[in-house]
A and B are shown apart, each in its own frame.
Chain A
Amino acid sequence: MSPEPADANSQPPPETFGLTDDELAIRRTVFASDALGGMVVVVTGATGGIGRAIAWLFARLGAHVVLVGRNQTKLDALTARMTQRALKVSSYAVDIRDPDAVRALFDAIWKARGRVDSLINSAGGQFPQSAIDISVKGWNAVINTNLNGTWYMMQAAAQHWRDAGHPGSIVNIVVVTTHGLYGIAHSIAARAGVVGLSRSVAVEWAPLKIRVNCVAPGLIETEGWKVYSPEARAAYPRSNPMMRAGSAWDIAEACGYLTGPSGGFVTGETLTVDGGGQLWGETWTTGKPPYFGGETG
């Protein structure tokens, strides 16, 4: 459900954002129906917009998907909807910021399923705020979830793969960090940390047959849009030369490419899926400041 590239100001933003479970259950995919058959894939942030799309896609491609999130009620609802479609899923309510809980999570998954093949770190997020006024608490919260939590998951996954002599693949969902995106400096800092971390361990863990990659989404319409103002959303088509938002499905299919055998020779890479937004476009999460020709921010 992407906005039309026409005059966005003439169209009020929709009440809801992103793809519904019913849409994710039937949306066309480029992949063959058993492309990830036999795999066990752990997806964090599984009830969020992008994580949810990844969970649906991977399960539809034959994987057993382990849904990880903080809210058991949301996890149960998603599990029920996916099970109704005869997909293989299980779920665990875990706060990825707690390293002991993360270790226990992987112990439990390995005990229950006997293997893990892939980890998709999609948990994360931020509230837009001018960097100059970010509180210490706000800063630490964003770093803790987006960088530390991702790291705890990566390390615990890798330790189990090492101990089991089992190959693995990690895909970290980040943001485009090469662009001075206004209002989310804390998140850019955390995600740039994840990108650097991924490049480092792609080398260090290559002897363990563990591949580590990132996907950097640009403007993607998800339920996360609700934290941005209508004014900010109205200008979103100007975020990239395609003059539209992408969908969570675009990100899910990029993850499919990296996770499947198609990505077998790819590691340490960040795949940018942003409609060209890193080359042209502007995104103002907190409104466009007068300095840049705007009236707000």
Chain B
Amino acid sequence: MNASKPDQRGILPRDLFAGKTVFVTGGGSGINLGIARTFAGLGADIGICGRSQERLDAAAAGLREIGAKVSATSADSGCQINCNPR
């Protein structure tokens, strides 16, 4: 099963989310990182969380290269204490 390559033509202006911050749980990898990259490419600053800080740090570096300010914090979003950090 081949995933066809998406059309790379940008149909949204690059500053559509300028001044906004988008938080993506599980943003360190996979579809969630793809979502984070897309929003970063549209001007948003990004928050990501996941369980592996190492993976988050690598993802954050890539997002900063796109131009986003990034907050990457390891957290288990199934645990309320982690979702309400002091």
Contacts and interface: CB of A to CB of B under 8 A. Distances in A.
A258 B16 CA distance: 19
A31 interface: yes
Contact of B6 (A31, A33, A35, A261): A261
B11 A32 contact: yes
Contacts, number: 26
Contact of B10 (A30, A32, A264): A32
A200 B55 CA distance: 43
B11 A264 contact: no
Interface range, B side: under 10
B9 A261 contact: yes
Interface in A239-261: 256, 260-261
B12 A264 contact: no
A181 B57 CA distance: 52
B13 interface: yes
Interface in B1-48: 6-7, 9-13, 16
Contacts of B16: 30
B41 to A, nearest CB: 12
A33 B16 CA distance: 12
A262 interface: yes
Interface residues of A, number: 12
A36 B9 CA distance: 10
A262 B11 CA distance: 8
Nearest to B11: A35
Nearest to B13: A32
Contacts of A260: 11
B7 A261 contact: yes
B85 to A, nearest CB: 32
A31 B15 CA distance: 11
B6 A30 contact: no
Contacts of A264: 6-7
A264 B3 CA distance: 12
Contacts of A31: 11-13
A30 B12 contact: yes
Given A31-B12, A35-B11, 7 more contacts: A31-B11, A31-B13, A32-B13, A35-B9, A35-B12, A261-B9, A264-B7
21 contacts: A30-B12, A30-B13, A30-B16, A31-B11, A31-B12, A31-B13, A32-B10, A32-B11, A32-B12, A32-B13, A35-B9, A35-B12, A36-B11, A256-B11, A260-B11, A261-B6, A261-B7, A261-B9, A262-B11, A264-B6, A265-B6
Interface of A: 30-33, 35-36, 256, 260-262, 264-265
